[in-house]
Amino acid sequence: MKNSILSILAIACAMLGSVQTVSAAGDVAKPKQMDWSFSGPFGTYDKAALQRGFLVFKSVCASCHSLDKIAFRNLEALGYEEAQIKTLAAEYTVTDGPNDEGEMFDRPARPSDYFPNPYPNKAAAKYANNGAYPPDLSLMTKARKDGANYVYSLLTGYKDAPEHVHLMNGQYYNPYMAGGVIAMPAPLSDGQVGYEDGTATTVDQYAKDVVHFLNWAAEPELEARKRMGVKVLIFLSIFALVMYGVKRKIWHDVH
């Protein structure tokens, strides 16, 4: 019996092992492995980091990248009050309409509005970025392998290009990017964004915070999911123990 269970596990593991997908061509650097507060079965987001990360996103990344899936009202999860969100949203202008006269009009954004796109369309985004399209960041940490570590490594990994790599105008060297060449200039520099809580204003810290924020944007359900998961596993484990007892009792005189 034990043998068959072991072999089942062995087969299952072997299958999982085979799942590993390929990394992109060329020698891509393996992302630095960071210690995120949201990883692990009990992981949670750090609200202060989320707010700082949002600040970095809003003042740096948002000038090129969209964040389509996030509405201002969602920012409540970062610990902002309703009033704060109203003021925050009102900093942005969105186009609404048509009104009663059939005209489109601009108005300040409301909490129910989604984060505005920096460019009117994809062509404009490409045109402004040397032909490269800055992808939407709402799902970025899920859309790359080892996403959070990857984005962190990418943001902090810019280097001078080694000799054999020839960069064209508007290209930069980054060993973490597939192929080593990226069209995004290093977006972060020390002291670029002012923090009010006294946290260090370094590239490294900005990168950590903005990745924290982006991971939330990609998986806003993460905390609820893990909390529920712990409860479900505890329940199932007890259920399994009870069923094991029931099964043994019933089978007692058969063996």
Partner 1 sequence: MAGGQRQKFDNPVVEWVDSRLPVFTLMQKEYGVFPTPRNFNYFWNFGAIAMFMLVTMIVTGITLAMQYTSSTSMAFDSVERIMRDVNYGWLIRYIHMNGASFFFIAVYIHIFRGMYYGSYKQPRELLWILGVVIFLLMMATAFMGYVLPWGQMSYWGATVITNLFSAVPVVGDDIVTLLWGGFSVDDATLKRFFALHYLLPFVIFAVVFLHVWALHVTGSNNPTGVEPKGKQDTLPFHPYYTMKDTFGLIVFVIIYAAFVFFMPNALGHPDNYIPADPLVTPAHIVPEWYFLPFYAILRAITFDLGIPFTEVVLIEAKLGGVIAMFGAIVLLLIMPWLDTHPVRSARYRPWYKKTLLVFVFGVVVLGYAGSQPADKVYWQTCIGSEAACEATDAHHGAADATGHHDVAEKAPTVLKFDNTMLAQLFTIYYYAFFLVILPLLSRKEQALPIPKSIHEAVLAKSKAKETK
Binding residues (CB under 8 A) for partner 1: these are 1, 4-5, 8, 11-12, 14-22, 24-27, 41, 69, 74, 135, 138-139, 142-145, 147, 164-166, 178, 180, 218, 220-221, 225-226, 228-230, 232-233, 236-237, 239-240, 243-244, 246-247, 250-251, 254-255
Between CA 200 and CA 59 the distance in angstroms is 17
Listed residue (142, 177, 232) closest to 30, CA to CA: 177
Tell me how far, at minimum, the Cβ of 129 lies from ligand HEC, in Å.
4
Cis peptide before 98 (omega within 30 of 0): yes
Q: How far apart are CA 150 and CA 34, in angstroms?
A: 10
50 or 177: whose CB is closer to ligand HEC? 177
Q: How many residues does this entry show for the chain?
A: 255
Considering only the stretches 14-22, 43-51, 127-135, 216-224, report the one whose residues sit in contact with ligand HEC under the rule CB under 6 A.
127-135
Q: Is 89 in the site for ligand HEC (CB under 6 A)?
A: no
Site string for ligand HEC, 134-153 (x = CB under 6 A): xx----x---x------x--
73-80: long-range pairs with CB below 8 Å, 24+ = 73/111, 73/112, 74/220, 77/50, 77/216, 77/220, 78/47, 78/50, 78/51, 78/54, 78/213, 78/216, 79/47, 79/50, 79/51, 80/51
Nearest to 154 by CA among 239, 53, 32, 238: 32
Q: Which stretch binds ligand HEC (CB under 6 A): 71-79, 104-112, 178-186, 225-233?
A: 178-186
Our finding on whether 118 is near ligand HEC (CB under 6 A) is no
Instruction: Rank residues 10 and 167 by Cβ distance to ligand HEC and give the closer one.
Output: 167
- Residues of this chain that bind ligand HEC (CB under 6 A): 56, 60-61, 63-65, 129, 132, 134-135, 140, 144, 151, 154-155, 177, 182-185, 187-188, 210
